[in-house]
Amino acid sequence: MKAVISATGIISPQRTHDATGFPDQVETFGVNRLSCIEPDYRNLINPVLLRRMPRILKMGLASSQLCINRSGNVQPDAIIVGTGLGCLVNLEQFLKEMLNSNEHITSVLPFIHSTHNAVASQVAMMLKNHNYNMTYCHRGFSFESALQDALMHISEEQAENVLVGGIDEGTDDFMQLYSYLDYWKPSVDALGLLEHKTSGTIAGEGSAFFMLSGKSGGPTDAVLSGVSTFVTPVLEPVDRIEAEIAWFLHENGVQKEDLDLVILGMNGDYPLDATYRHLMQSFFTAETGYAVFKPLCGEYYTASAFALWLASVIINRQMVPGPVCIAPVTGKSINNILIYNHLRNVEHSLMLVTASDDGGNR
């Protein structure tokens, strides 16, 4: 199963919303929680609706509208969203209102905006779209589950164009609760995140949408050629992970020697990043280039959506931006990119992004 990534729209802690490629300037942070740099929503969403719209819906509707605009205003045959936390801030607001008002609802809006499928449904209403609409909330697999559903729709010819999104909003309560489990580092320089050989990482957030199409792509289009997920116990030998990656590549007609670039989900948690370091040293070939993405967007359940956007930009521009590159690609075109990400070394995901067949030999 494969699909062309014909358009993207992304809001992230970098200035990605107003750039068609990688931003010219990378934002640096000295904190342990990265927040999105948001656009002027009035240019993308009806200003009348903005006043009562929660932040996560603004981010979701704006990034999806950016994607729609860049696709040439294609009306999708399906809208599929992945989210790990859903509209958690609005859910908290709704529950507090119920508690403070003796279980009386004074306004229906907090309830409507509190459900996990609020973003997908609001996108559909914005587009006046009555087609297939689904939301996946599978922790670290949320975005990958949405992609797999989209690829199946395209493969079975139930849809030609599918709008797929991954979105999560950072919250104060989430930060506090997971700080008890030592998830977070103290405030650090985000770009130097991997230099701190300590436990913990930095939190992030983002909203990324992709128009996946069953049509042949143009010469600079990226192709999502495969998605896979698997679960391992925390202490599982790395041999199992190597076997899963080898199987995934074989199933998609690629050998590890064919990989030009591997984008890794290293997040600065030194003990848990050991898996990535082992694969770089002992599994992938010496000619393979490497890049990372979480120093730019932080760690969150659907961070792999940022990685997919990054891979599509790299395929399109045929260059790996300096801020994300940890081992350069030299002397060859970038036609095959593997994205490998894991959450706490338990939930693992793989995505294969390739150059369009219509692109010829670059």
For the segment 84-104, the average pLDDT, to the nearest whole number, is 85
Q: What is the 3-state secondary structure (H, E, C) of 97-138?
A: HHHHCCCCCCCCHHHHCCCCCHHHHHHHHHHCCCCEEEEECC
pLDDT tens-digit profile of 277-305?
999 999 999 999 999 999 999 999 999 99
Q: Given a cut of 70, is residue 248 above it in pLDDT? A: yes
- Residue 88 has a pLDDT of 86
Residue 359 clears pLDDT 70, i.e. is over it:
no
143, 347 in Cβ contact below 8 A?
no
Q: Which amino acid is at 13?
A: P
pLDDT band at 358 (very low <50, low <70, confident <90, very high): low
Q: What percent of the chain lies above the pLDDT cut of 70?
A: 99
Which domains, from first to last, does the chain contain?
Answer: 3-213 (3.40.47.10), 223-356 (3.40.47.10)
Give residues with Cβ within 8 angstroms of 192, minimum separation 6.
295
pLDDT in tens, 6-39: 999 999 999 999 988 999 999 989 999 999 999 9
What is the per-residue pLDDT across 310-326, written as a single tens digit (0 to 9) for each? 999 999 999 999 999 99
